[in-house]
Chain A
Amino acid sequence: MTLEEWYRQDRLPHIYCAGCGNGTILNCTLRATNELGLDRTKTTFVSGIGCSSRASGYTSSDSLHTTHGRALPFATGVKMVKPDHDVIVFTGDGDLSAIGGNHFIHACRRNIDLTVVCMNNNIYGMTGGQGSPCTPYGAISTTTPYGMREMPFDLCAVAEAAGANYVARWTSYHVKELTQAIRAGIETPGLSFIEVMTQCPTSFGSKNKMRQVSQMVDALRANSILKDKADRNKAAGIPLEPGKFVVGELVRRSNPVLGGRP
């Protein structure tokens, strides 16, 4: 199979705004599935509601566009009924951590054999740019016009604490590394959680002095610190600066798996 066959050509071009990183993450996911040589009839994409969750509609294999926050329960059902299918979940930060927060924790606890790709654009992009649990401290959104006064969620730390087998974080700028991480996530049994920090120039950037796509991508590149460097800094007693985040493969372990391949 070629990469083009993984896209639903009749649905393209997609509805994402100009410069939205979700299309890049869709590219990386489909490149990873293509490189692994997965069977298109045995691959299922599941998504909830939001910008990110439109991605499953642009794939040519089986796809489920489900209710808000309930992508993981639907995916759990698919995996339990069809253990030989590869189930990949596209979800956003609001969909996964706010409305579907408990589902996320319990999917990690069960360690069910899914690959979760979370497109974290720090905001609810599709409904007008409200603040989400992942909006950085001090950032401006339509519901926080004087700056966010709540601390953001660290989704990778939640997944790690709840028991996921593979946890990684990359940005939509690190495309090659992201493709490798999604490949590793699909190959690892158990819940693989890949958080992708992505740009939203329309809803987030325009309110936070990053109207241009290049400014948002530069900010992503400047704020990401590789895990090795963060570990060295930690050993030297240098704390992580506020606003920066660690990228890389954070956890890989082999806990018992629910719904693995027979």
Chain B
Amino acid sequence: MKLVIDEHRCKGCNLCTMVCPYRIFQEGKRPGPRGYVIPALDQPERCTNCRLQKIYGRQLCGMCQLTCPDQAIAWIEEKPYEAHKVVIEY
């Protein structure tokens, strides 16, 4: 599963940056296609829903999706050949 922000729906209110317990959403810097500054995703691999939703068979956190007033946050299926970013934390 992959966390995505729909750039055509997001209005840049930054409520997701307030509620995410893993601090994945960060305030963005560049405006999106509709002129709103869209939040940036910082290491979305840390999202529990992305990693564990399939294993547990239910939604685990979902605070960002529930709080987003514009229905812009969703989890989509990853393609099997999609490259993963490897994060090494020291």
Contacts and interface: CB of A to CB of B under 8 A. Distances in A.
B4 interface: no
Most buried by A among B19, B36, B71: B71
By secondary structure, the A interface counts as: helix
Contacts, number: 59
Interface in A23-51: 23-24, 27-28, 31
Contacts of A213: 13-15
B11 interface: yes
Interface stretch (B39-47, B48-56, B60-68, B80-88): B60-68
B68 A19 contact: no
Nearest to B11: A18
Contact of A217 (B8, B11, B15): B15
Contacts of B66: 24, 27-28, 31, 175-176, 179
A13 B63 CA distance: 20
Contacts of A22: 69
Given A27-B65, A176-B66, A179-B66, A7 B71 contact: yes
A19 B15 contact: yes
Contact of B68 (A7, A24, A176): A24
A214 B14 contact: yes
Contacts of B78: none
A15 to B, nearest CB: 11
Contact of B69 (A4, A19, A214): A19
A24 B69 contact: yes
A16 B69 contact: yes
By secondary structure, the B interface counts as: loop
A22 B63 CA distance: 16
A14 interface: yes
B30 interface: no
A6 B68 CA distance: 16
A246 interface: no
A31 B58 CA distance: 13
A238 B60 CA distance: 39
A21 interface: yes
Contacts of A217: 15, 18
A18 B68 contact: no
A12 B71 contact: yes
A20 interface: yes
A12 to B, nearest CB: 6
Contacts of B36: 18
Given A12-B9, A13-B9, A175-B63, A27 B14 contact: no
A31 B68 CA distance: 13
B17 to A, nearest CB: 9
A13 B69 CA distance: 10
B32 interface: no
A23 B70 contact: yes
Interface of B: 8-9, 11-15, 18-19, 36, 63, 65-72, 74
7 residue pairs, one from A and one from B, having the closest CB atoms: A23-B69, A19-B13, A18-B11, A13-B9, A175-B66, A18-B13, A24-B69
